[in-house]
Amino acid sequence: MAEKNIKVGVVQHSNSADLKSNFAKTCDGIKAAAAQGAKLIVLQELHRSLYFCQTEDTDLFDLAETIPGPSTETLGALAKELNVVIVASLFEKRATGLYHNTAVVLESDGTIAGKYRKMHIPDDPGFYEKFYFTPGDMGFTPIQTSVGKLGVLVCWDQWFPEGARLMAMAGAEFLIYPTAIGWDPRDDKAEQTRQRDAWIIAQRAHAVSNGVPVISVNRVGHEADPSGQSEGIQFWGNSFVAGPQGEMLLHASEQDEAVCVVDIDLARSESVRRIWPYLRDRRIDHYQDLCKIYRD
**291 has catalytic annotation:** no
Between the alpha carbon of residue 161 and those of residues 51, 141, 210, the distances in Å are: 25, 15, 10
Range list of H helices, 137-295: 161-169, 189-210, 267-275, 278-281
C-alpha–C-alpha distance, residues 169 and 22, integer Å:
36
> DSSP secondary-structure letter at 65?
B
Beta-bridge partner residues of 204: none
Residue 209 phi/psi, 5-degree rounding, is -70, -15
Q: Which amino acid is at 21?
A: S
- By the 10 Å C-beta count (0-12 exposed, 13-18 middle, 19+ buried), 167 is classed as buried
Q: Which amino acid is at 256?
A: D
Catalytic residue from among 129, 155, 223, 260: 155
What pairing do the DSSP bridges indicate for beta strands 174-178 and 148-152? parallel
Show the DSSP H helices in 105-170 as ranges. Answer: 161-169
45 in active site:
yes
> Following DSSP, what letter does each residue of 47-64 receive, concatenated?
TTS--GGGS--GGGGGG-
Please give the backbone phi and psi of residue 199, each rounded to the nearest 5 degrees, phi first.
Answer: -60, -45
Annotation marks residue 3 as catalytic: no
Of 45, 107, 173, 223, catalytic:
45
Would you call the peptide bond into 68 cis, given omega within 30 degrees of 0 as the criterion?
Answer: yes
CB within 8 Å of 88: residues ≥ 6 apart: 43, 47, 71, 72, 75, 103, 104, 105, 106, 178
What residues act catalytically? 45, 118, 155
